[in-house]
Amino acid sequence: MARLWAKIIVKHKIHRQATCPCVFSQAPEALQELCKEFDVPNPIWLGKQQREFEQFRLTSFGPDNFVEEVPFDRLEIEFLEDDGKRRKSNDPRNVF
C-alpha cells in the first residue's frame, strides 16, 4: 500500500518523521492526520505545493505556510508508491 512520509526538519536535520497509508488523491487528508500525530497546525496547501506534489511526488511547507507559529524550519512530505518490489541496498555494510 502507498504511504505518505512526513518529516519535520530543524536546522537541516530530521527532527521527527512518520508515515501514513495514503492514496495519492487524498494526500491533503493524510497530511492532516500526520499533523495531528506531530501536534502541529495544518499547513496551508497552496498551488505551488499542489504543482510540486503532482510533478515530483514531494513538496515542503515553510513557516509562512502556517497560520500559527511553528517550532521547525520545514515540513516535508513525500508520496511513497508501493510497487510490490522489495528494495535492497547495494551497500556492503548492509549484508545482514
Q: Is residue 93 part of a domain?
A: no
Q: Please give the average per-residue pLDDT across 65-70, as a whole number.
A: 95
Q: Please give the average per-residue pLDDT across 50-74, as a whole number.
A: 96
Q: What is the pLDDT of residue 61?
A: 97
Q: Is residue 96 part of a domain?
A: no
With cut-offs at 50, 70 and 90, classify the pLDDT of residue 90. confident
Q: Is residue 91 part of a domain?
A: no
With cut-offs at 50, 70 and 90, classify the pLDDT of residue 82. confident
Q: Is residue 89 part of a domain?
A: no
Q: Is residue 70 part of a domain?
A: yes
- 40-43 CB contacts, 8 Å cutoff, 24+ apart: 40/8, 40/66, 40/70, 40/72, 40/75, 41/66, 41/67, 41/68, 41/70, 43/75
Q: Which domain holds residue 71?
A: 3-84
Q: Is residue 92 part of a domain?
A: no
DSSP one-letter code for 84: S
If 0-12 CB within 10 Å is exposed, 13-18 middle and 19+ buried, where does residue 22 land? buried
Beta bridge partners of 74: 9
Q: How many domains does the chain have?
A: 1
For 4-58, the pLDDT digits (tens) are: 999 999 999 999 999 999 999 999 999 999 999 999 999 999 999 999 999 999 9
